[in-house]
Amino acid sequence: MSANLESVEQAIRETGVPSFIGEGSKAVTTAGTRVQLSTPIDCKEVAITAKAANTGYIYVGGEAVSSLQYLARLVANASVVISIDNLSKLWLDASVSAEGVVFGYVR
């Protein structure tokens, strides 16, 4: 390996440039009953988008998320990007049962 390539790889490791992209989806089965976005998955940032077919609100936040306490309230096709170290720290609630989100993350 050349010295230049090694220095580029070292710079990438030091600056935290994402090395993996993942995605998923999650539905809130019962409105008013929060659900965890994901099982524990390390990440640096996540983009969450409310599904296009949604008719109500999706609430995004911590483990106490609700329609009264949230980080973001999303309508259909709306998105939020959150810097966080693990997907399991994010929770969802919905104003309409069976509505949900798609999400993508980098680590």
Three-state SS for 6? Answer: helix
Q: Are 50 and 78 in contact (CB under 8 A)?
A: yes
Task: Please name the residues in contact with 2: beta carbons below 8 A apart, sequence gap of 6 or more.
Answer: none
Q: Which two tokens stand for residue 21?
A: 């992209």
Task: Give backbone dihedrals phi and psi of 5, rounded to 5 degrees, phi first.
Answer: -65, -40
Q: Which amino acid is residue 98, in one-letter code?
A: A
What does each of the 107 residues of the chain score in pLDDT, given as a tens digit? 445 556 555 655 666 677 789 999 999 999 999 999 999 999 999 999 999 999 999 999 999 999 999 999 999 999 999 999 999 999 999 999 999 999 999 98
